[in-house]
């Protein structure tokens, strides 16, 4: 009886994930220059970078769905954090808003689990690009009541209750679960969130899509911590946000950077991380030839497993590197 060969350290080298493009009525027909992708039918609104169905593009697991790999091998991917479960912890997307998205809200963990889902959805938006005057809706105006929200849904005046933020490239916005929110036209956002696509639509501008009014009202918190987050500047990086579920950092690369140099000083043990090229490109190299070199293209993403062997990231020109790592709330 034959058996599979034992995994080797090269099996857990960093690997690139292929983006998966989803149609949305508020999206764009042409994603260039962000991606070499033109819609063949419905507009494209999202590039899913780490979805469970996203396919691994390099290395020994090439062609495998990311979610399947997490289910098969959580420990080498997550390290000690595998104790929290064998699921991919972060869903990362690029959002292209050409029209207004629906006004919506996401449930917290407790409400999601009440209705049979594993987790809720807290997220953040890093603004990659914004037209002059671009805005997002983030939370409710002070003093707005749930009854006003309900009435606004029914009579089409909900926008009057929303707190609007002017946004520009380089800003970070935090959107915790329970925050009523919407994205207005003219922005390209890097969205990092809990691995959950559970959305309750309140209002959708007459589009023929399902609304979830009762659940959206149940999920709504009249006051949340949502809003802009100022970066925390360290000697070797800018921490754009550091929350219960994720940390997002912007890390300068002076020609090359080692795997150890990518980790933050307070990371006591290896864990999963994702590296995204907001602009420019990089090359991933193994000093000991443990794995074959591969490229990180503009707007590409790679996963760095907890068990990854040593590697070097080399700036291939104009690299603007964003690093995302999962966190779990204390007590979980």
What are 17's strand-pairing partners? Answer: 56, 301
Q: Can you read off the two tokens belonging to residue 275? A: 């590296």
Q: Which residue is it, tokens 């292929």? A: 18
Q: Name the helix (H) or strand (E) containing 167.
A: none
> What single-letter DSSP state applies at residue 213?
H
Task: Name the nearest CA neighbour of 69 among 233, 272, 299, 322.
Answer: 272
Give the integer Cα–Cα distance in Å for 116 and 113: 5
What are 323's strand-pairing partners? Answer: 249, 275
> Which residues, in sequence order, are CB contacts of 143 under 8 Å at separation 6+?
none
Q: Give me the active site residues, please.
A: 201
Task: Name the nearest CA neighbour of 323 among 272, 276, 282.
Answer: 276
For 142-164, give one letter per residue: b (16+ CB within 10 A) or e: eebeeebbbebbeeeebeebbbe
């Amino acid at each position: 009886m034959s058996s599979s060969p034992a995994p080797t350290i090269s099996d857990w080298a960093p690997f690139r994930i292929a983006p998966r493009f989803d149609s949305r009525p508020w999206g764009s027909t042409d994603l260039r220059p962000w991606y070499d992708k033109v819609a063949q039918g419905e507009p494209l609104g999202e590039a899913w970078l780490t979805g469970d169905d996203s396919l691994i593009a390099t290395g020994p697991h090439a062609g495998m769905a990311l979610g399947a790999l997490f289910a098969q091998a959580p420990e080498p991917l997550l390290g000690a954090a595998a104790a929290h479960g064998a699921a991919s912890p972060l869903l990362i997307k690029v959002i292209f808003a050409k029209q207004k998205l629906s006004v919506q809200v996401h449930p917290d963990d407790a409400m999601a689990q009440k209705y049979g889902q594993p987790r809720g959805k807290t997220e953040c938006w890093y603004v990659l690009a914004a037209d002059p005057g671009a805005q997002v809706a983030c939370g409710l105006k002070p003093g707005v009541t749930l009854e006003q929200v309900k009435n606004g849904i029914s009579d089409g005046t909900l926008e009057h209750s929303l707190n609007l933020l002017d946004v520009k490239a380089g800003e970070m916005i935090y959107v915790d679960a329970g925050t009523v929110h919407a994205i207005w036209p003219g922005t390209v956002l890097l969205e990092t969130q809990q691995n959950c696509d559970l959305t309750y639509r309140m209002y959708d501008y007459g589009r023929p899509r399902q609304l979830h009014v009762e659940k959206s009202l149940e999920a709504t918190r009249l006051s949340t911590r949502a809003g802009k987050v100022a970066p925390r500047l360290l000697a070797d990086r800018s921490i754009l946000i550091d929350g219960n579920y994720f940390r997002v950092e912007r890390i300068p690369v002076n020609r090359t950077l080692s795997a150890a140099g990518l980790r933050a000083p307070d990371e006591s043990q290896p864990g999963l991380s994702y590296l995204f090229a907001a602009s420019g490109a990089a090359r991933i190299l193994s000093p000991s030839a443990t794995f074959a070199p591969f490229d990180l293209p503009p707007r590409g993403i790679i996963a760095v497993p907890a068990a990854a062997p040593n590697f070097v990231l080399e700036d291939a020109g104009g690299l603007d590197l964003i690093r995302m790592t999962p966190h779990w709330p204390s007590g979980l």
